Structure 1
Amino acid sequence: MRNDDPLGGAVATDDRTRLDSTLIATLIVDDDLTFRKTVRQLLERVPEVSIVGEAADGEEALRLAQALRPDVVLMDITMPRLDGLEATRRIKAEQPDMKVIVLTVHQEEAYRKTACEYGADAFLTKKTVGSRLIPMIIGS
């Protein structure tokens, strides 16, 4: 990793030009590559959404959120190096207008409560992503 790399080696993408300010710039954060690909495929069919980057842990998420300034961050909870709840807290402290949607396998109320306390704008279980995610993003 180079010190002058603001993304710290994380993946930044831009399938649809960010010059179109009507697009909802979205960052996908999940340590599961298969799940990230699934979410990407789902969102690539939505003309209003531009996927600007992907991260595999909370530290990468913080770097990308600061460098890319997405409108929406899709954040897993359980990840290496820095979990998604703490990453959410830090992102919202620095950029309160950035929308963070927590996507997780955890269904326990304690996770939902903590996500809300840390500033998450929405909380979805991964089982409901297919039916509920797009309206949440577009409604941002």
Structure 2
Amino acid sequence: MEDSACAYVQLNLAGINSEQLCRCPGGLSCPLDWDPLDGRTVSHGNDQYKYCGRAPRLARCLRDQVVYSTAVKLSLLTGIKLENTARLHCSCPPTHIFYRNQTSHQQYDNGVTAIDVSTLCKRVRIYLTRTRCVKER
């Protein structure tokens, strides 16, 4: 899980929200603070992805490349997350957004559900009209 983000931090109208995705090995702590300069953060807009150690150096995303993927295993019997992996694969430019591409679910006989989500890096063009913004897909 070394290349997996350990937390997600978001700045929004309600303030700063954070979600720890996994525990760091060897007693290391996962940063949950908004800090783009801590060396353990990959930022995209108002979102930060935190790492147990140094944040990875990511190549710039190519057109419609998968930028982010998550894999979650959840026990339906207990409601507990058994596994939660979040990976950034490339750096999405500021003029692009994370756009959900594909979600797959798999149900196992032991009551475990696996959910995998991939997210694309997509360019957004915004055209201003008299009264509103319209996004082009």
What's the TM-score, normalizing by structure 2? Answer: 0.25
